[in-house]
Amino acid sequence: MSVPGIPKDFWNARFSEDGFAYGDRASRLLFAFRDLLKPGQSALVPACGEGRDAVFLAQCGLAVTAVDMSAAGLAKTQALAAAHGVTVTCLEADLSTWDWPVGSFDVIAAMFAHMPSSFRPVLHRRFLAALKPGGHVFLEGFLPAQIDYQKSHNSGGPHNVDFLFDPADIRADFAGAEELSLMTGIETLTEGPYHHGPAALLRAVFRKPETK
């Protein structure tokens, strides 16, 4: 049974438009923590969209698996990887029913993978389970305050507050992991036509303990 979220058809239509809905440059979070990314590591990019983060990680020398339910997004991911001369393994799957690997990845990069609160904590626990001990999860999303910025600047994100990232919820989701960074604030996005203008963001990095 799939999650009650934004339907696949919406994403396929969005990713069938010309250009890149959220740009082709990776999240600024990955640039900020570039020192944690090492050639030869394995990375998972759930909800990869059109592949901007997956391709960046591959360019950094990581072996990247990108998962999304949108075939159109995955086709763009493959094309972007080819344009940069790197390889990304693309899998079309619903993250709520995917057979999640356990203890398999050094890095998980989940940007704007907004889900309903009925599923979000489950997904985030899957991230931790899928990491190797000592692995890192990079997480970016919109805060509840983004509702105001949608009204004033149309700068992106789900319009249903239930999908947005409350810092207390995110900390609870990743309880047991080491919080290397959790920052919230207003930043002007320049990530394609659908992430553009002042926005209320959460960016976080968690490390799975070596013993778990």
DSSP 27: P
Binding to ligand SAM by residue 49, rule CB under 6 A? yes
Which of 24, 25, 59, 94 is in the footprint of ligand SAM by CB under 6 A?
94
For residues 110-129, which are near ligand SAM according to CB under 6 A? 111-113
- Contact indicator for 90, 78 with CB cutoff of 8 Å: yes
Q: Which two tokens stand for residue 104?
A: 């398999």
What are the distances in angstroms from CA 49 to CA 24, 76, 112, 134, 207? 10, 8, 9, 26, 24
- Tell me whether residue 133 or residue 190 sits nearer to ligand SAM (CB atom): 190
Q: In the complex, what is the shortest distance from the CB of residue 25 to ligand SAM, in angstroms, rounded to a whole number?
A: 10
Which of 81, 95, 128, 143 is in the footprint of ligand SAM by CB under 6 A?
95
Task: For residue 116, give the amino acid letter.
Answer: P
Burial of 202 (0-12, 13-18, 19+ CB in 10 A): buried
Q: Give the pairing of strands 42-46 and 63-68.
A: parallel
- Tell me whether residue 44 or residue 69 sits nearer to ligand SAM (CB atom): 69
Helical segments of 139-211, H only: 146-153, 167-173
- Tell me whether residue 134 or residue 136 sits nearer to ligand SAM (CB atom): 136
Count of residues in contact with ligand SAM, rule CB under 6 A? 18
Which of 30, 57, 60, 69 is in the footprint of ligand SAM by CB under 6 A?
69
Q: In the complex, what is the shortest distance from the CB of residue 120 to ligand SAM, in angstroms, rounded to a whole number?
A: 11
Residue span binding ligand SAM (CB under 6 A) among the ranges 82-90, 106-114, 145-153, 170-178: 106-114
- What is the rounded distance in angstroms from the CA atom of residue 113 to the CA atom of residue 94? 12
Which of 44, 47, 64, 108 is in the footprint of ligand SAM by CB under 6 A?
47
- Tell me whether residue 13 or residue 133 sits nearer to ligand SAM (CB atom): 13
- What is the rounded distance in angstroms from the CA atom of residue 99 to the CA atom of residue 130? 11
* Contact footprint for ligand SAM (CB under 6 A): 3, 5, 11, 22, 47-49, 52, 68-70, 73, 94-96, 111-113
